[in-house]
Amino acid sequence: MLGLFLILPVFAVHAMHLKGGDNHTLVGIALGTYGLTQGMLQIPYGMASDRYGRKRVIILGLILFALGSFVAAIGDNIYVIIAGRALQGAGAISAPVMAFLSDLTREQHRTKAMAMVGSSIGLMFALSLVGSPLLYRYIGMGGIFILTGILALAAIWVVASVVPQEPVVKVEEHVEPARLGDVLRNSQLLRLNFGIFSLHAVQMAIFVVVPLALIGAGGLPVGEHWKIYLPVVLGSFVLMVPAIFYAEKKDAIKPVFLASIALMAAVQLGFAFSLHNFNALVILLLGFFVAFNILEASLPSLVSRTAPASAKGAALGVYNTTQSLGLFVGGAAGGWLMQHHGSAPVFMFGAALIALWAIAAATMRVPRRVRKRDVDTIGSAALGNESAG
């Protein structure tokens, strides 16, 4: 995810030096096209990992991601960059990774583990925003792509040598595996899938505009953008932690979740009317990251809690597919809107999409958490039944 995010803060500016890079639609497609290939392959990769093993599929995906990074590194025109990004996306390992995580964790710890994955994605997004302008200054866009390819190769070693071996999963004969159609008809999962689609569509769309807006409103060169992103990202983590703790301690996940969606919608509207006000842009970026980090950490946890036990793999496959498609739609739509209608409509599009999500999320049901005392009670009951037998 770090490799995929690293180009977001700088590519819209860098693209102006590429052949075809003056076309904002193509720039948006270059930013988001990996989401299209990921969306096409998430479910097949998840199914393949069930049949051939998690590690084999994850390693194959990392090889393709590294190859795409090296292709993009040699690109001197927008079309080669698009091809490289599409090949990066062909390493669609999110579903196998989440399924592997589910294999390695007990039920009472799975929600926390899924939340850690969501949080790590948010952290990589934040790190990319801070590190990307500095890397761009010293090693350029080609160097960034080469770095991500090297990191992917290092990750292959981690998967092969450090990650635990795959457990042997015993499937109970009386449990029928869920069909994909069952997951697609689950209204609660559909709400969460639409949420991750919307969140990542907005994330990708705004970075067609924001780097250029920081230059235009503040005269800040792209290599200096980290001076904005660093305090904003650190501030967002400070502000999100109390909200997460409150949601968990008071079992108030839904109110915090809905408040974060509302904040995201308000930020999009604020961006639309503040593109020439540098101070307002900085404040709105802070609000964006607070909302994004809370939602990014909460959504996978909610999916893992909402999906029936026999449908977790299918549910995570669909979830990751809609996340990836959101990245592509956001990049393509943001680039097209900026090309033909200017910057403000990009944020109006984001506000409308988040408003639809808010309507859908208002009626969602949040499953009860699996608490330690519940697990202890179930375990005691099971032991009692065994003794009675």
Q: What is the band of 274 on the pLDDT scale with cuts at 50, 70, 90?
A: very high
Residue 144 domain-assigned (yes or no) = yes
Q: How many Å apart are CA 261 and CA 240, to the nearest integer?
A: 13
- Domain limits for position 99: 2-164+179-373
Q: What is the band of 287 on the pLDDT scale with cuts at 50, 70, 90?
A: very high
Residue 20 domain-assigned (yes or no) = yes
Q: How many Å apart are CA 229 and CA 224, to the nearest integer?
A: 9
Mean pLDDT, the chain, as a whole number? 85
Report pLDDT digits (tens) over 28-38: 999 899 889 98
Residue 30: Cβ-neighbour burial (10 angstroms; 0-12, 13-18, 19+) = buried
Q: Between residues 3 and 348, which one has the greater pLDDT?
A: 348
pLDDT, position 309: 65
Average confidence (pLDDT) over 63-72: 96
Domain count along the chain: 1
Residue 387: is its pLDDT beyond 50?
Answer: no
pLDDT, position 313: 65
Min mean pLDDT across 40-54, 302-316, 343-357 is at 302-316
What CATH number is attached to the domain comprising 233? 1.20.1250.20
Report pLDDT digits (tens) over 88-103: 999 888 878 887 887 8
Q: No. of H helices and E strands in the chain?
A: 16, 0
Residue 380 domain-assigned (yes or no) = no
Average confidence (pLDDT) over 239-256: 84
Residue 329: is its pLDDT beyond 90?
Answer: yes
Residue 163: is its pLDDT beyond 80?
Answer: yes
Residue 139 domain-assigned (yes or no) = yes
Residue 383 domain-assigned (yes or no) = no
Residue 382 domain-assigned (yes or no) = no
pLDDT, position 111: 62
User: Long-range contacts for 367-370 (Cβ within 8 Å, ≥24 apart)?
Assistant: 367/302, 367/305, 367/306, 369/111, 369/251, 369/305, 370/107, 370/108, 370/111, 370/305
Report pLDDT digits (tens) over 344-385: 999 999 999 999 999 999 998 887 665 554 444 434 443 344
Q: How many Å apart are CA 165 and CA 168, to the nearest integer?
A: 9
Ramachandran quadrant class, 360 (left: phi over 0; alpha: psi -120 to 50; beta: rest): alpha
Residue 386 domain-assigned (yes or no) = no
